Amino acid sequence: MPATRMKAPEIPKDAEWHNTDNPIRITEQFGKVVLLEFWTTCHVSCIQLLSDSSYLEKKYRDGLTVIGIHSPKYPHEAEKLHLKNTINRNQVTHPVVNDESYQLFKKYSVKEWPTIILIDPEGYIIGALRGTSDRDQLEGLIQKQLQIAEQKNIRCIDKTPIADQPLNGEVLSYPGRLYATQNKLYISDSGHNRIVEANIDGKVTRTFGSYNPGLLDGHESDSLFNNPQGMEKIDDFLFVADAGNHAIRRIHLQTGEVHTIMGNGERAKALTQVYDDPSQAKLNCPWALTNYKGDVYISMAGTNQIWKWQLSMNKLMPYLGTGQEALNDGPRQTAAFAQPTGMSGGEYGLYISDSETSSIRLIRMPDDNVSTLIGKGLFDFGDVDGPSYMARLQHPLDLQYDHKRQVVWICDTYNNKIKYLKLNNNEVFTLSLADLDEPGGIFLQNDILWISNTNRHEIVKLDLTQGSKTIIPIVEY
């Protein structure tokens, strides 16, 4: 808390606004609590904050004004269309300012993403909450300030307008990850909070989950998901990293039944707990799953870790990553990641797309030693091919190991490209593919590379033998 009361700096008049036709003035919010959320689109903790602020703005519409301040980390994030897509994808309904020049970031002395600034009903800064916030704590502060406003007889009860968000795409909305078999294609239809099962030609055969976000087990579309992402098929089961629910779900592909096997919808705070009963585990934004030599590995993006589920013993534990957001190589006890979002098993171990360091990492097994193949640090990124030690990516979200060609295929998401790392000489190249817009998922099945072209709401099929590219029409009857 500040020692003296300080008036909240005003938002610049020439600011770029989203989700409102009329710019919001802080000085015009007298009698209301104002919540400024400083965020960036790439960070998991920021996306989690959007969910909390959405809950609060709907509950306190007659006393709370929420304003998003988007201060981008990457050049791609500063683009107007990118921000609009992120707002739509996460169903943000409050006004958002694109603070691409960091004016407000500096005015409010913000040091990290995410940060919440609370402003009291008289326009003075109450304080700042940095990092992943506690929604209950925020709600308590809001309630207290509204009570004070009541006592001072200055409470404004005009309801804050909430912007409607249209459904995006036709059948798919911001598809995330893919999983392909010889005759089936499974798609994380993340914007619609469901898993789509289709034939290879794109005809939808079943859906799991409905358009509404939630955590509910049940049969096919009677179940509920929240921003599902990575998938892994083991025997007759499809396992799903249900990122928004901080849970792992299991779909029985013969019966269509969906069960929650890990997580209860709450974000985990512990980083070191070992679970002898995985059903009791609390997770934090699991993003990818891979079955490697009999164990299932989970990229826990919310805690910057890789977890390990030992199937033979049914034991779940943190495997790699101190929890610190950083790029540190070395043994498992000291290695650090920064929002790992993609995994793929290879000859020597697990390849990881470490999105916030724009890097590709390798966990060598069985010595559990981590090395960096591409990338340098949290704020080192770009669009550079060539020798891997010089190559630069921009927020890669997924990757696939290709034994036949001895390459690692990479979704270089914020560069709107598919790249590949040749393992025989450690050179990075870009595929010549037009019309990609933030590809967020990639899957190799035999000689077919399946690509989730996320912001175009489409699935791309790339035949690596023929070099042909096809957009697969996903058709739902």
CA distance 181 to 204: 15
Alpha-carbon separation of residue 474 from 41, 188, 198, 201 (angstroms) = 27, 13, 8, 8
**Sequence ranges of the chain with CATH classification 3.40.30.10:** 16-151
Query: pLDDT confidence of 169, banded at 50, 70, 90?
Result: low
CA–CA distance, 67 with 164 (Å, rounded to integer): 16
Domain with CATH 2.120.10.30 in the chain: 178-472
**Residue 444 φ then ψ, to 5°:** -105, 125
* Contact between residue 402 and residue 444 where contact means Cβ atoms under 8 Å apart: yes
Please tell me the distance from the alpha carbon of residue 428 to that of residue 335, in angstroms, as a whole number: 24
Fold annotation for 178-472: Neuraminidase (2.120.10)
Contact 370, 329 (CB under 8 A): yes
Assigned CATH topology for domain 16-151? Glutaredoxin (3.40.30)
What's the maximum distance between 2 C-alpha atoms anywhere in the chain? 74
Average pLDDT over residues 129-137: 83
Name the residue with tokens 């974000």.
267
* pLDDT of res. 5: 86
Any residues with CB less than 8 A from the CB of 474 and at least 6 apart, and which? 171, 172, 187, 196, 198, 202, 204, 458, 459
How far apart (Å, rounded) are the C-alpha atoms in residues 194 and 207? 7
Dist CA 133 CA 36 (whole Å): 13
Q: Mean pLDDT, to the nearest integer, of 226-241?
A: 98
Instruction: Give pLDDT tens digits for 20-66.
Output: 988 999 999 999 999 999 999 999 999 988 988 989 999 999 999 99
Structure tokens at 181: 């078999």
pLDDT at 162 over 90: no
Q: Is the pLDDT of residue 349 over 80?
A: yes
Listed residue (58, 64, 1, 9) closest to 33, CA to CA: 64
Q: What is the DSSP letter of 84?
A: H
151: amino acid identity, one letter = Q
With bands split at pLDDT 50, 70 and 90, how would you rate the model's confidence at 204?
A: very high
